[in-house]
C-alpha cells in the first residue's frame, strides 16, 4: 500500500514553483536589455501546441509568468499569453469550429503563430533604450515582444521576451 494521500483541503493558493525575481527599477534612458527576460540567463518556459489551454494557464500561474513559448518538436511555433486564454480568442474559436466546450481547446487554437509575432532583433535591442521599447509597445498594442538572435547559417534563435507588464512595473520602481 502506498503512503501517498490525496488532499482537497488547500486553503491558500501556492507560490510559483519558480520564484519571480525582484525587478530592478529602470528609467526611460536605461538600456533596453534591462527589461528583457534573457534566455541566455533564464530558462524559457515552453508549452506544447497540444496542451489544453486550462492546463497552460495553470502552468503560467505555477511559474509566475503571463506568456509561454509554444513549441512543436524542437521548434518555436508561437506564443500564448494569459490574455489569449482568458480573453475572446477561445470564444471566437468555438464559434467557428466544431468544438463545443472551452475545456476541449488546445494551445494551438488560441496562440499567436510564429509568423504573426512581433519580433525584435537582438542587435537592435542591445543598442536601444527603455523608451524605444515603450514606444514599440505603444505603437503595436502588443503585450509581449519576442527578441531573436540570428546565427551564421541564416537561422535565428529566440533570445528572450519583453513583457509590457514587467516593463511597467520596472518603470514604476521595480519590485
Q: What is the dihedral of CA 62, 67, 70, 76, to 10 degrees?
A: -130
The answer as to whether 27 is a domain residue is no
- Residues shown for the chain: 175
Give 59's contacts (C-beta < 8 A, 6+ positions apart).
45, 47, 51, 68
Q: How far apart are the first and last CA of the chain?
A: 47
The answer as to whether 64 is a domain residue is yes
The answer as to whether 18 is a domain residue is no
pLDDT digits (tens, 9 = 90+) for 58-76: 999 999 899 999 999 989 9
Q: Give residue 7's pLDDT.
A: 47
Mean pLDDT value of segment 28-47: 94
pLDDT digits (tens, 9 = 90+) for 148-168: 998 656 678 999 999 999 999
Total number of domains in the chain:
1
Range of the domain at 43: 32-171
The answer as to whether 10 is a domain residue is no
pLDDT digits (tens, 9 = 90+) for 99-153: 989 899 999 999 999 999 989 999 999 999 999 999 999 999 999 999 999 865 6
The answer as to whether 72 is a domain residue is yes
The answer as to whether 167 is a domain residue is yes
Q: From residue 50, how far is each of 7, 82, 87, 135 by CA, in Å?
A: 28, 16, 19, 34
Q: Which residue reads 528583457 in cell numbers?
A: 36
Read off the CATH number of the domain in which 114 is found.
3.10.580.10
Q: Give residue 90's pLDDT.
A: 95
Percentage of the chain with pLDDT > 90? 74
Q: Give residue 150's pLDDT.
A: 83
Q: Give residue 155's pLDDT.
A: 77
Amino acid at each position: 500500500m502506498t503512503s501517498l494521500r490525496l488532499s482537497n483541503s488547500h486553503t491558500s493558493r501556492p507560490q510559483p514553483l519558480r520564484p519571480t525575481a525582484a525587478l530592478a527599477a529602470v528609467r526611460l534612458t536605461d538600456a533596453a536589455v534591462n527589461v528583457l527576460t534573457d534566455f541566455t540567463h533564464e530558462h524559457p518556459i515552453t508549452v506544447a501546441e497540444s496542451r489544453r489551454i486550462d492546463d497552460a494557464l495553470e502552468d503560467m500561474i505555477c511559474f509566475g509568468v503571463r506568456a509561454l513559448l509554444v513549441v512543436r518538436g524542437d521548434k518555436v511555433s508561437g506564443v500564448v499569453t494569459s490574455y489569449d486564454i482568458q480573453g475572446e480568442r477561445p470564444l471566437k474559436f468555438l464559434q467557428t469550429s466544431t468544438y463545443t466546450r472551452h475545456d476541449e481547446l488546445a494551445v494551438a487554437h488560441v496562440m499567436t503563430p510564429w509568423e504573426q509575432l512581433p519580433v525584435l532583433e537582438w542587435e537592435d535591442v542591445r543598442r536601444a533604450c527603455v523608451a524605444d521599447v515603450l514606444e514599440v509597445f505603444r505603437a503595436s498594442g502588443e503585450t509581449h515582444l519576442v527578441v531573436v538572435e540570428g546565427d551564421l547559417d541564416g537561422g535565428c534563435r529566440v533570445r528572450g521576451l519583453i513583457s509590457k507588464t514587467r516593463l511597467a512595473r520596472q518603470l514604476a520602481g521595480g519590485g
